[in-house]
Amino acid sequence: MADKNTTSQTKQMLIDFGPLVIFFVSYKFYDIYVATAVFMVAIVGGLIASKLITGRISGMLWFTFGVVMVMGGLTLFLKDPTFVKMKPTIVYALFAAILGIAMLRGKLIVKNMLASVLGAEAPDDVWRKLTKQAVVFFLAMMVFNEVIWRNFSEDTWVNVKVFGFTGAFLVFNFWIIANLLKYMPDLEATAEENKKGD
């Protein structure tokens, strides 16, 4: 079960970040406006792929879709790249707000998202700690995006968005998994049990 869930999560990550790679390639060959238009189409493709491959559409993908359509649409309509550059700021700020407010109301969204996927049976104190760290992470990403797009070239912002932000997300995901390892099932023991069952 854990292997299937991990595989499903890997596929979902590829779907979530796939449009970003397409945005980067489009920008390198064309410009910010073409890349934005292609990104908007890629997000729609991501929704369809997610439904076909995993049978569901993640909240992250739905949320990203909404913000991309609005900010991307404004970028193309007004011919102003400021909107697409501010998109990560808005996304990270709202993620931090949603996680923080939900936690104050006794709801641990990080637990709801990851407990079944990773098979981690951690106490709520651990999930609460990880939620606080996620809030800080998203706030830091929000500030970082503002600093980059306001003070550096467009090329630099695109490179940081694609490689820097993606790398930061991967590192943070590894950090979360490292904190949950002792609460996750022993995969070797599970594999042995499955062999005995066969």
CA distance 7 to 41: 26
- pTM score of the predicted model: 0.80
Residue from 142, 150, 132 nearest 93 by CA: 142
3-class DSSP assignment, residue 152? coil
- Residue 197 lies inside a defined structural domain of this protein: no
- Residue 93 lies inside a defined structural domain of this protein: yes
The HSE-up count of residue 187 (CA atoms within 13 Å, CB side) is 10
- Residue 194 lies inside a defined structural domain of this protein: no
pLDDT digits (tens, 9 = 90+) for 80-119: 999 999 999 999 999 999 999 999 999 988 888 777 667 7
Domain tally, the chain: 1
pLDDT value of residue 61? 75
CA distance 41 to 32: 14
Average pLDDT of span 187-197: 49
CA distance 63 to 71: 12
The dihedral through the CA atoms of 4, 45, 155, 77 has a sign that is negative
* Owner of token pair 């991990």: 6
- Residue 31 lies inside a defined structural domain of this protein: yes
CB-based contacts of 114: which residues, under 8 Å, 6+ apart?
120, 176, 180
pLDDT value of residue 188? 45
At 164, the pLDDT band (50, 70, 90 cuts) reads very high
pLDDT value of residue 183? 83
Scored b (16 or more CB within 10 A) or e, 30-49 reads eebbebbbbbbebbeebbeb
- Residue 196 lies inside a defined structural domain of this protein: no
Residues in the chain: 198
Considering only the C-alpha atoms of the chain, give the largest distance between any 2 of them, rounded to a whole number of Å: 64
Q: Are 40 and 69 in contact (CB under 8 A)?
A: yes
- Residue 146 lies inside a defined structural domain of this protein: yes
Q: Are 50 and 57 in contact (CB under 8 A)?
A: yes
More confident residue, 55 or 23: 23
Average pLDDT of span 160-172: 92
* Encoded amino acid at 117, one letter: V
What domain range includes position 65?
2-185
At 163, the pLDDT band (50, 70, 90 cuts) reads very high
- Residue 198 lies inside a defined structural domain of this protein: no
- Asked if the model's pLDDT at residue 191 lies above 80, the reply is no
pLDDT digits (tens, 9 = 90+) for 28-80: 999 999 999 999 999 898 888 888 877 777 777 788 889 899 999 999 999 99
- Residue 145 lies inside a defined structural domain of this protein: yes
